[in-house]
Structure 1
């Protein structure tokens, strides 16, 4: 199996819990429509991403999260300017706008998305970095393209677990993407993402795992009441703090609360 194709044992049936009190159906429908409109508008404008002020991108990301009925709570240090590799644990599709609310970045995405009608071309023009996850031979070229973007001063966002987990269980940080940061001399910004209910209890309601469909996950989120997305921006790891990608990946995982050994 390719390093870009790890799998998680989490499934909707075993990991995703009921949300408790649910929003009324009309309110959930309105939330869903608002999310679709905002995402469509963002997709259409994505080719102009480089010319859109970063603060406006952050506001749009927060608006998407808020439209879904989720409160974003961002804490911690400010992400530095210049070339930066943002890495975070991966639970939900909500992670993407939450991470972009920290600092707008070029996302890593599987190459299959490039073949999607309309959306694939717009994503490519918007600066998405595509990864051929099922071809190990493509890995050096992917690392080189990520390093080039970092050298150019861009922020690149990645989920090194390579798959979504429910939030209770978490995966290892695969270390290939960290080689790009070392090659470019770029700092690594670890980010920890968690989902809670208004009362403070952790929840897996936002998880998008296993055979879950995007529509099912969307409806579960917009139907929930009191869902909070917590984003903790942890201290950045300087480019020269670790000699190799194994130790760099392990350090980033420790800061994100991921004990264990790094994968190749």
Structure 2
């Protein structure tokens, strides 16, 4: 198994033809984003001491506040809430995926170890119970799977992106099976989720976070874009079964084959959670 899959997508996938808001609006959004990030610092100190319900409310509220700061509208198509102790798996396009999925399915995230080094965000993620995975060290994989299994057995929801890398949303990839072994070992259900993006009513790659693209450049593009919307579709849960490769393939067939549909119709259906016209 290739633990650090190579994405066929690169910065060249970014079309750059999106409609833009005035510079003053962009600056206002960036200020609002900084305020939203800084506002959580006092909560981070006491977050580990909160009860499960309080932690869920804080995580959901913070994710939504960051999306609001950037004027990202969110449309949700979701059945009943996934049961406690479920493994939530999603296709991966952008760092915004974390906020979008976290706003409706808050839980312990599985994220690459690079995130730990991001200024401020890394420390906040660690305090929030993020399970970090080092894709450059295959020897750490069993430990990561064990951590996910323990979290699921403890009744925590765990959110993962098994493609192992981001893609532009046009290209899709298969799900790598390692994290699904944790669900099998814990007897945990798996909920596939699809995330897709549009801008000004059209499919877009402006939100994609690809290759060596700096985070600051990605944030700037999103802040400049007009009418960005993220559609999140939660699919019915899958039983864990006994074969991780079959489980991964089944989840991928549901999650990664749907983004084109979600990007085209998502802005016209579902429940609008954040709505802030640019």
Provide the TM-score with structure 2 as the length reference. Answer: 0.85
* Aligned CA distance change for structure 1 residues 131 and 44 (closer, same or farther; 3 Å): farther
1:193 and 1:229 in contact (8 A); partners too: yes
* Aligned CA distance change for structure 1 residues 116 and 96 (closer, same or farther; 3 Å): closer
Q: Which residue in the other structure is 1:217 paired with?
A: 218
User: How far apart, in 2, do the equivalents of 1:97 and 1:115 lie?
Assistant: 18
Q: Which residue in the other structure is 1:29 paired with?
A: 27
Greater displacement, 215-224 / 106-115: 106-115
Q: Shift of the alpha carbon at 1:112?
A: 4.0
User: How far apart, in 2, do the equivalents of 1:203 and 1:65 lie?
Assistant: 17
1:129-169 deviations in Å (ceiling 9; x for gaps): 11122121211111111100000000111110111100000
Match of 1:171 among 170, 173, 180: 173
Q: Partner of 2:46: helix, strand, or coil?
A: helix
Match of 1:101 among 97, 100, 103: 103
* Aligned CA distance change for structure 1 residues 99 and 214 (closer, same or farther; 3 Å): same
Q: Which residue in the other structure is 1:76 paired with?
A: 78
User: How far apart, in 2, do the equivalents of 1:110 and 1:246 lie?
Assistant: 21
Q: Shift of the alpha carbon at 1:187?
A: 0.7
1:228 aligns to 2:229 (yes or no)? yes
1:2 and 1:136 in contact (8 A); partners too: no
1:2 and 1:133 in contact (8 A); partners too: no
1:48-106 deviations in Å (ceiling 9; x for gaps): 33523523432321221121121011112133231011110110111001010122111
Q: Which runs of 5+ in 1 are unaligned?
A: 260-264
Aligned counterparts, 1:187-226, within 5 A: 187-199=189-201, 201-226=202-227
Q: Which residue in the other structure is 2:274 paired with?
A: none
* Aligned CA distance change for structure 1 residues 162 and 100 (closer, same or farther; 3 Å): same
Q: Which runs of 5+ in 2 are unaligned?
A: 259-278
Aligned counterparts, 1:17-96, within 5 A: 17-50=15-48, 51=50, 52-96=54-98
Equivalent residues, number:
254
Provide the TM-score with structure 1 as the length reference. Answer: 0.89
Aligned counterparts, 1:96-135, within 5 A: 96-114=98-116, 120-135=122-137
Cα RMSD (Å) of the superposition? 2.0
